[in-house]
Amino acid sequence: MRICYFIQNHLGPAQAARLIRTIRRSRPESFILVGHDPFAGHGSAAEIGRALDVEVLAAREPARRGYLSLLYPYFDAVEWLAARGIAYDWIVYLSAQDYPTQPLERLETFLEASGQDGFLRAWKAFDPVNPWGRPRQGVRRYDYQYLEAPRWLAPALRLLRWSNGFQSQVHFHLVYGPRVGVRRRPAPWNGLTCYAGTQWTTLRRECAELVVERVRSSPDLMRWFARTICPDEAVVQTLLLNSGRFQLGNDDLRYADFAGSRNGRPRTLTVADVPLLTGGAFYFARKFDPLQDAAVLDRLDEHIG
């Protein structure tokens, strides 16, 4: 088995370099590819590539939270791997703020024995009972078409947001920048079930390539997703689960703590979390910040060997 670790990065090279060193030390036969956002102000893709000594793909546009641009680097990576004939069996999609919590050999053993074609978190987006804990969250994310509003309109939209609770035709959204959504018909589902989940996945090559093929061959659906909220947490789930072709485990094999989060950002993990991180049934965790607590990565290095 050969795993490709695709690491999406918008920071400087330091944190990604440590993650790459750990992967190489543990599984030197793995292939590592980095997708870098040069618009974030931390250097060009060429500069990051020289610093990390890996292949680096430049993002085609700024990666924005809550937008489809967060997934473009992944789609580009799968196509880049195929075009260059890179051999791999699984692709593990990571953030540069991820880190292993178990020896990577255990991950390979688990994947080989699992009988699954992929692992990703997924649920029906429009079900009122969902992990978001908000009955209409999926409807408001994926059943409306949003337009960006100028930043200077944000205070006015904040005042109008109270109307979200008693009418369903227009939705005012401010978490990822000011946006106004209109509930339009017909939605382009055409018998598809809309699924949501988390962005980070572990997929067999066949799954990843099918996702990209469906993305390229479904322009109407992708135009719809491009004007929704957080399509990065729904596109892969919707395309894969509706295909009916694969056995998919409903688990992203990662740990993140969103308790109390109001903006979709997980808590930064510290050395106090190490017993939890090393004792759980997952193989990566996020997010880490060495400037805040580097000792947690040192302790994880000791554990994974």
- How far is it, in rounded angstroms, from Cα 196 to Cα 237? 6
Same domain, 175 and 77: no
- Domain co-membership, 161 together with 277: no
Pairing between β-strand 254-255 and β-strand 170-173 as defined by DSSP bridges: unpaired
Please count the structural domains in the chain: 2
Q: Say which CATH number the domain at 96 has.
A: 3.90.550
Residue 70 identity: L
Sheet holding 179-182, edge to edge: 145-148, 179-182, 170-173
The pLDDT of 156-172, averaged and rounded, is: 93
Residue 240 lies in domain: 3-124+193-304
181-204 confidence digits (pLDDT tens): 999 877 888 889 999 999 999 999
Task: Write out pLDDT tens, residues 281-304.
Answer: 899 999 999 999 999 999 999 999
Predicted pLDDT at 67: 97
The verdict on 217 and 93 lying in the same domain is yes
- φ/ψ region of 232 (left if φ > 0, alpha if ψ in -120 to 50, else beta) reads alpha
Lowest-confidence region among 91-95, 125-129, 165-169 = 165-169
pLDDT at 183: 92
Structure tokens at 116: 């699954």
SS3 assignment, position 66: coil
Secondary structure of 275-287 as H, E, C letters: HHHHHCCCCEECC
**118 and 222 housed in the same domain:** yes
**Does one domain contain both 38 and 61?**
yes
* Mean pLDDT over the full length of the chain: 95
**Single-letter code of the amino acid located at 291:** L
**Integer Cα distance of 7 and 20 in angstroms:** 9
Residue 262's pLDDT is 67
134 phi, psi to nearest 5 deg? -130, 115
Looking at the structure, do residues 178 and 197 belong to the same domain, yes or no? no
Is residue 102 located within the same domain as residue 202?
A: yes
